[in-house]
Amino acid sequence: MATVTLRNIRKKYGEVEVIKGVDLDVADREFVVFVGPSGCGKSTLLRMIAGLESITDGDLMIDGTKANDIGPADRGLAMVFQSYALYPHMTVADNMAFSLRLAGVSKEERMRKVTEAANVLHLGPLLERRPKELSGGQRQRVAIGRAIVRQPKVFLFDEPLSNLDAALRVQMRIELAKLHEKLEATMIYVTHDQIEAMTMADKIVVLQGGVVEQVGSPLELYHHPRNLFVAGFIGSPKMNLMPGRVIGRAEDGITVELANGIPFSVPVRGERVNPGDEVTVGIRPEHLSLSPDGEIAGTVLVTERLGGLTFLHIQVQGDVVMIVQADGDEAASMHDHVRLSVNPKGCHLFARDGQAVEHVNRHHLIEPGAAGRRSA
């Protein structure tokens, strides 16, 4: 069992507050991903959990014990760094056995554990090499192996895949997910890459400016973003955001009018907005389609053909550019005049303060009240 609990955690450097009161519960065996733009405080928060940064205020509990004043060496956590941070003067085997050596574990036992971890990570033939003789991917494996050997309460990852090339990153992503399954360990993972967050996490924590914007399962964040920031941050390409105005309230939602004067109804609960309110309408690219009798007229600016999918950047009234996800066979090309039709079910509405207006129905893959796959 290994849980991590953060209660109103704060970090100040002099007068500057970089973590502004974070509350979080990480359940046993959960894979939690901190995601956010650079400078949002996600790495600082991870380092505070690790004990590498002091905690200015608030409580950090590891397995129910307050850990604020416990040094990094005694927290029983393991960390994988972005730069791998292998010990350059030691062989792979010595790197992996370092923590055991410090703990006074016998040589045979050390060898046994290192071999065991090396087998999991296919590092067997590399054990006698030095870090500089390894490729980036191999170094990353050693760094993970060093963490596994410790049998830590919690694994901490600080952007571990950022230094790898794209193909290797995808491969390591899958291996990390498998490893999580196999080790049944609690993991906290920091990344700025929302694909990594979406694919690996049980629970995503979106941070911005030292504040948690939303915590939830990947699909929850995707389908029910709590505010404009999360809506814009999660999903690639980004959600289309357009100004609109509430013109009426119906039984199954709110009727809004976009800048071009076209009304349509969005299935959200209407308590928070009133007719006449300025709002922001969000539509993901897959909820827009080209159709001859669509509501919105526009001109194709750019087509990005990925093969299976095509992303069309379409300029609509005013200076608004909307991204549409179309089929790979879509024939529209640059400068074509097209019409877009909106799938209202996929629309999101954000009040003037940027907070989302709650949907009438929750996405069918999201269990009610569940934060993650395993924590339910």
Partner 1 sequence: MSSAKSGVLSFVLGWGAALLLFFPILWMLLTGFKTEVEAIATPPTLFFSPTMENYQAVFQRADYLSFAINSVVVSVVATALAILIAVPAAYVMAFFPTKRTRGTLLWMLSTKMMPPVGVLVPMYLLFRDFGLLDTLTGLVIIYTLMNLPIVIWMLYTFFKEVPPEILEAGRMDGARAKQEVTLLLLPLALPGIASTSLLSIILCWNEAFWSLNLSAHNAAPLTAFIASFSSPEGLFWAKLSAASTLAIAPILVFGWMSQRQLVRGLTFGAVK
Interface positions with partner 1 (CB under 8 A) = 50-52, 71-74, 77-79, 81, 83, 85-89, 98-99, 102-103, 146, 150
Pairing of strands 154-158, 77-80: parallel
- Taking the complex as a whole, the smallest distance from the CB of residue 82 to partner 1 amounts, in Å, to 8
Give one DSSP letter per residue of 132-162, joined into a string: GGS-HHHHHHHHHHHHHHT--SEEEEESTTT
Give one DSSP letter per residue of 6-24, joined into a string: EEEEEEEETTEEEEEEEEE
Residue whose CB is less far from partner 1, 110 or 203: 110
- Taking the complex as a whole, the smallest distance from the CB of residue 313 to partner 1 amounts, in Å, to 40
Residue whose CB is less far from partner 1, 102 or 166: 102
Residue whose CB is less far from partner 1, 88 or 369: 88
Nearest Cα neighbor of 83 from 123, 26, 131 is: 131
- Taking the complex as a whole, the smallest distance from the CB of residue 103 to partner 1 amounts, in Å, to 6
- Taking the complex as a whole, the smallest distance from the CB of residue 1 to partner 1 amounts, in Å, to 21
**Residue 84: exposed, middle, or buried by beta-carbon count in 10 A (0-12, 13-18, 19+)?**
buried
- Taking the complex as a whole, the smallest distance from the CB of residue 201 to partner 1 amounts, in Å, to 22
In whole angstroms, what is the distance from residue 181 CA to residue 18 CA?
33
Mapping DSSP to helix (H, G, I), strand (E, B) and coil, where does residue 221 land?
A: helix
Residue whose CB is less far from partner 1, 158 or 196: 158
Residue whose CB is less far from partner 1, 81 or 311: 81
Q: Which two tokens stand for residue 173?
A: 């992503």
